[in-house]
Chain A
């Protein structure tokens, strides 16, 4: 058996990369993420929980904050740090949609397209976002690497349709004509 996260065995079969293999190619030279300040932060998190396993979700957030996404190498690293198996960590990462299993843009834009927002023109907002960011289609990253736009279910702001989330920031009442201004502030 090849040890998970070793130098070999980083070839990704299509079955394991449903989003395409983009970004996997430079994984050959994987640099550990749980070092220095990130490791200190993990140790602080671990103090809050009775078991190491309980710290899995925050540990994964930590990795995602540091790297922008959670690669299989990172999963193996987290597994080792928390005394879990890589397979278990992968099961958790793939269960939740909030962990990125492939690289995303610097700004991760989530647009609510649930019924009330849809009724208020969310589809046009999505189209405007895709056009102005240069992403082209939902889920893919713009050529400049700055944006990824996805649809999400209810963001809990039905009174302020259409809400969008840019990374951690919440922006309400977004209409197609406001999109370019919002994006300009980010560039």
Chain B
């Protein structure tokens, strides 16, 4: 690899230096200028078919498509010159010839690039007298519905299936004004990552069947998060409406998931809205579990643990913070920590190295291992007479509790989002938040520590598990617990050599790698 040569050019009066070979569109992005575009997407091969990115280059005979034109030294580019605007206005008018303008019933409305650019640069009124072309909708299989009339034929979906998914089932069928996105009979969009074509579609032509007519884009609250559904840790956006998760989408991160997220992760969000939740701490009084305040319940739990060994069965869906607090409890009581994890078939995305729906379907298996929890298929076998069983369950682990194991334990404490049927005999129950109701960090399969933020209000009196555990340890004689996830992170980073040099702030929203872990996706060398 030779030295990259830098090229300096002027875009909208701003000087910018970029590597030679960069497109004008990307150079403009670097200069803070958005060149309107439809077919161009940084994750896909350049097609140059939509003509929306036409810009004026001084001394060039005609307008240039910014996505397919490489920068040249000393170039002067005008994105918003009269000539460029006039050309793009023409492109928009052509795109709207057969577009149904059904924005009031279109899911994409409010996040539609056809709307946005028409509002900015298009004609204020149409001139078309003739009837519009009509084609019926088509179910593409998987989660994808094709609303043919809205399509602008940018071919992002075709290129994604060809070049990224490696399962080329889409094409452009017919030609001219009859052209539509076609699919070969019997070949549905059932690829594990096919749902990404919905995100990639710049208009409302490819829409999610799951999200269909559920909400308008402007009603949604969007929160940066991490997909908790496997160990890959794809960066995601959790979209809520009235405190309910209604959609999750990919959040770009070049180091992890590029622009993509698999269908399993995307659609497996209903458990986050579960209504059957624990809303108050419970303490056993004879046959019954009775609601109590936090301090009563925590004090009770502390008494149960006094002088006993804690056998902790932890969900690998817990945050690093909560797992670290659990590991402190284990150390303090001389106990042991175990976990089990749900599994399913692995499904890689061919076009992106080291990106796959992982077999282990929980976010923080790496974190659990790091903090000393042992993988076990029969975790309750280790319970000895007199031990206290602590079940910390926020999902992601198959839970089958053998009554005989439970009988050996002197007591059991459930720290969970729900009370599992098998654990109804618990002595103390502490209600905790799930991934959408708290903030914290996960460590992914490649050792990348990534933050997620709180997207919804917690139900009732539920608290993050690290908070409940801090109070519990305090009641058992430790120093005071923590009030913020960032405080717990600072403490655990100080205590764990793998986290050296990391701070909650420096993680940002893209995460950072643990000491000594190499991102396998790196191919430089």
Contacts and interface: CB of A to CB of B under 8 A. Distances in A.
Contacts of B168: 85, 87-88
B182 A4 contact: no
A8 B182 contact: no
A88 B184 CA distance: 9
B187 A2 contact: yes
Nearest to A6: B186
A120 to B, nearest CB: 28
Nearest to A13: B138
A91 interface: yes
B80 to A, nearest CB: 36
B30 to A, nearest CB: 35
A134 to B, nearest CB: 28
A9 B186 contact: yes
B137 to A, nearest CB: 8
A87 B174 contact: no
B187 A1 contact: yes
Contacts of B173: 90-91, 94-95
A183 to B, nearest CB: 31
Contact of A86 (B135, B175, B187): B187
A5 B169 CA distance: 13
A85 B172 CA distance: 13
Contact of A87 (B136, B169, B190): B169
B174 A95 contact: yes
A16 B136 CA distance: 10
B222 to A, nearest CB: 33
A57 to B, nearest CB: 15
B185 interface: yes
A94 B172 CA distance: 9
Nearest to B191: A1
Contacts of A6: 186
Nearest to B188: A1
B135 A15 contact: yes
A8 B187 CA distance: 11
Contacts of B172: 91, 95
B187 A87 contact: yes
A86 B148 CA distance: 21
Contacts of A10: 185-186
Interface in B96-116: none
Interface residues of A, number: 26
Contacts of A85: 168-169, 184
B186 A90 contact: no
A157 B501 CA distance: 81
Nearest to A79: B184
A6 B148 CA distance: 27
B183 A87 contact: yes
Contacts of B186: 1-6, 8-10
Interface in B106-136: 135-136
A72 interface: yes
A9 B138 CA distance: 16
A53 B170 CA distance: 18
B171 A87 contact: yes
A12 B186 CA distance: 9
A8 to B, nearest CB: 7
B140 to A, nearest CB: 11
Contacts of B187: 1-2, 4, 86-87
Interface string B157-195: 000000000011111111100000011111110100000
A14 interface: yes
A94 B174 contact: yes
A26 B190 CA distance: 28
A72 B190 contact: no
Given A13-B138, A88-B168, A95-B175, A1 B190 contact: yes
B184 to A, nearest CB: 4
Given A15-B138, A85-B168, A91 B190 contact: no
B97 to A, nearest CB: 20
B184 A86 contact: yes
Interface string A92-120: 00110000000000000000000000000
Contacts of A3: 186
A87 B188 contact: no
Contacts of B184: 4, 72, 75-76, 85-87, 90
A176 B372 CA distance: 92
Contacts of B182: 16, 87, 90-91, 94
A87 to B, nearest CB: 4
A171 B97 CA distance: 39
A88 B171 CA distance: 6
A88 B168 CA distance: 8
Contacts of B167: 1
Contacts of A76: 184
Contacts of A5: 186
B138 A90 contact: no
A181 B175 CA distance: 37
15 contacts: A1-B187, A1-B190, A4-B185, A4-B186, A9-B185, A14-B136, A16-B185, A87-B169, A87-B182, A88-B168, A90-B184, A91-B173, A94-B174, A94-B175, A95-B174
Given A16-B182, A90-B173, A90-B184, 16 more contacts: A1-B186, A1-B188, A2-B187, A3-B186, A13-B185, A15-B138, A15-B148, A76-B184, A85-B168, A87-B171, A87-B184, A90-B171, A91-B172, A94-B174, A95-B172, A95-B175
| Interface pairs A-B: 8 shortest CB-CB | A9-B186, A91-B171, A2-B186, A87-B171, A86-B184, A94-B173, A87-B184, A85-B168
